[in-house]
Amino acid sequence: MLNAGGRITTPYQSIGALLAPSHHVYARIQGLITVNETRKGLSRDAYERAMESVDTQSSFIVYADETLEHGILGLVAAKLCELFHRPIGVFTRDGDTYV
């Protein structure tokens, strides 16, 4: 949950929760829980879209989606790799390049 902030918002959200005075910790943690649930939904949706479009017979699976958040690329790649047991490339567009 702590790394969810860095995946889709900012790592400072997690740091803020860790360093918050005790009377603010609950609110900060609730914010991280919300961000983590959003991250889970984005990851799940991206994985489902990838499953609909990848060539599962390929020896190297490549998936590109310009709507993906940078922070979930590795999560989607890991799930695909776990399922297909082969190299996976998951990319999103960032300006003129793919990440």
Q: Are 28 and 9 in contact (CB under 8 A)?
A: no
Q: Is the pLDDT of residue 30 over 80?
A: yes
Q: Which amino acid is at 12?
A: Y
Query: What's the predicted TM-score (pTM) here?
Result: 0.84
Which pLDDT score, from 0 to 100, does residue 3 have? Answer: 82
Tokens of 66: 């310009």
Mean of per-residue pLDDT scores for the chain: 91
Domains of the chain, by residue range, sit at 4-98
Domain 4-98 classification at class level: alpha beta
Q: Is the pLDDT of residue 1 over 80?
A: no
